[in-house]
Structure 1
Amino acid sequence: MGVFTPDVHTLRELYKAELERALNMEKQIAEKGLPAMIKAATSSELSSAFQSHLQETQAQIQRLERILDEVEGEANEGKCKVISQLISSAYSEVGDATDPMLRDVVLIAAGNQVEHHEIAVYGTLRTWAEVLGEREHAEVLERTLEEEKAADAKLTALASQINVEVPVA
């Protein structure tokens, strides 16, 4: 189901559909994205950051499943095509980077892109939960939003260290 299809008539239906896509997004990240990024990273700090975020992502999956149980969502019904494309693009770009340090730069950029999408998704979901009067959901989604912002900030900090080590010409 797409966001703007005839199947969606209310904000609550849209909220449920987006929760389903968010769950699919996190599962793709946990099963495909982060394990490959951990394996490809040269920097031990970068690998550790990805490993730490994988553990957070697994907790986020559990929280989304609990929320979906409460709204009677059908887990994994909606596929997150954006994350699928970002992961696919990252695989391609990492494969093209023959220099290990350059590969880390590519991994950080890909990680930031994923985080920015997650920040947008969770900011939207939190706002919709508030409008729908789902305060507990909003609190859980806010927690996840803050985790995603922290992961993005960590990658940005690592980029400031790693990017300067890569030849520019």
Structure 2
Amino acid sequence: MAVKAAAHLYLHKLPDTYSAEKQLIKSLPRMARASADPQPSQAFLDHLEETQGQVARIDEVVELLNLKLKRIKCAAMEDLVEEGKDLIDEIEKGPVLDVALIGAAQKVEHDEIASYTTLTTLTTKLRYTAAVPLLQASLAEERATDERLGKLGQAAAIKDAAAAGKARWHRTSSRICGESSYSAGGVAGTRSPDALGGFHDPATSPYWSRGIVHRRRIGHGRLRRIGGGGLD
């Protein structure tokens, strides 16, 4: 159907939003289970309940206006849901994943805020007066959820994620380099094997940086020097 008028756009946008909400209902429980922090997990579950109510409101709008909607799959929500799945698959459960899921959920909220804003505007312009409060209620819920998620993202979860990242960096560097304590010339530090099997001191090696030998393989396994004469 070619969209040539506001009424036509409305008949496209309403089922598109309905599809988005239906997809989100399937996605939110998975996000709640994947979250290690009970606060974002509860936020996802709370919004699941709200989303079910939003689907019911769209059903009510359709009944009030005596509309017949075509079945549409919201491509934007499909991509956002897939992004959430990828995050869960690629990041282990913990504070880093929690922060990533909060960000993904906010992207969903921004999309839904835009959808309900458009629907509310069209409903008003088309003088579908009885339906306006229903869509305004859903829009208010989406904005409140976005604000709640934003506050969670700025709270302890960020600090926990940063701490987890730093701890992992140290564990990884120790594992890669096989660090061991040493004392030479009265200076305590670490010594670790380089890519060629020798040991290099932090104070004397031009390509030693914080216990990590930086590697970047070029071509068929050749090693090149990088920044500041570093061995790669």
Relative to the length of structure 1, the TM-score reads 0.90
Cα distance in 1 for residues equivalent to 2:148 and 2:52: 18
Shift, 1:43, TM fit: 0.7
Report the residue type matching 2:134 in the other structure: V
Partner of 1:18: 13
Report the residue type matching 2:129 in the other structure: R
Runs of at least 5 residues in structure 2 that lack an aligned partner in the other structure? 167-232
Shift, 1:122, TM fit: 0.2
Cα distance in 2 for residues equivalent to 1:132 and 1:71: 14
Question: Deviating runs (4+, > 2 A) in structure 1?
Answer: none
Report the residue type matching 2:50 in the other structure: E
Contact 1:18 1:125 in 2 (8 A): yes
Cα distance in 2 for residues equivalent to 1:17 and 1:68: 13
Partner of 2:108: 114
Which of 132, 137, 161 lines up with 1:138 in the alignment?
A: 132
Which of 148, 166, 169 lines up with 2:161 in the alignment?
A: 166
Runs of at least 5 residues in structure 1 that lack an aligned partner in the other structure? none
Tell whether 2:17 aligns with 1:46.
no
Report the residue type matching 1:29 in the other structure: L
Shift, 1:94, TM fit: 2.4
Relative to the length of structure 2, the TM-score reads 0.67
Shift, 1:67, TM fit: 0.9
Cα distance in 1 for residues equivalent to 2:150 and 2:73: 28
Cα distance in 2 for residues equivalent to 1:27 and 1:96: 25
Contact 1:123 1:145 in 2 (8 A): yes
1:18-59 CA-partner distances (Å, limit 9, x unpaired): 10111111000002x101111111111111111111000001
1:81-125 CA-partner distances (Å, limit 9, x unpaired): 000000101111222112511010111001000000000000000
Cα distance in 2 for residues equivalent to 1:142 and 1:73: 22
Cα distance in 2 for residues equivalent to 1:49 and 1:17: 30
* Two-structure CA RMSD over aligned residues (Å): 1.4
Partner of 2:176: none
Task: Say which SS state the counterpart of residue 166 (structure 1) adopts.
Answer: helix
Q: Greater share of helix residues, 1 or 2?
A: 1
Contact 1:20 1:73 in 2 (8 A): no
Contact 2:31 2:101 in 1 (8 A): yes
Partner of 1:91: 85
Partner of 1:78: 72
Which of 63, 85, 100 lines up with 2:94 in the alignment?
A: 100
Contact 2:28 2:44 in 1 (8 A): yes
Larger RCO (CA under 8 A, 6+ residues apart): 1
Q: Greater share of strand residues, 1 or 2?
A: 2
Cα distance in 2 for residues equivalent to 1:54 and 1:98: 23
Task: Say which SS state the counterpart of residue 108 (structure 1) adopts.
Answer: helix
Cα distance in 2 for residues equivalent to 1:14 and 1:128: 8
Shift, 1:154, TM fit: 0.5
Partner of 2:29: 35
For these two proteins, the number of residue pairs brought into alignment is 162
Contact 2:20 2:74 in 1 (8 A): yes
Contact 2:14 2:119 in 1 (8 A): yes
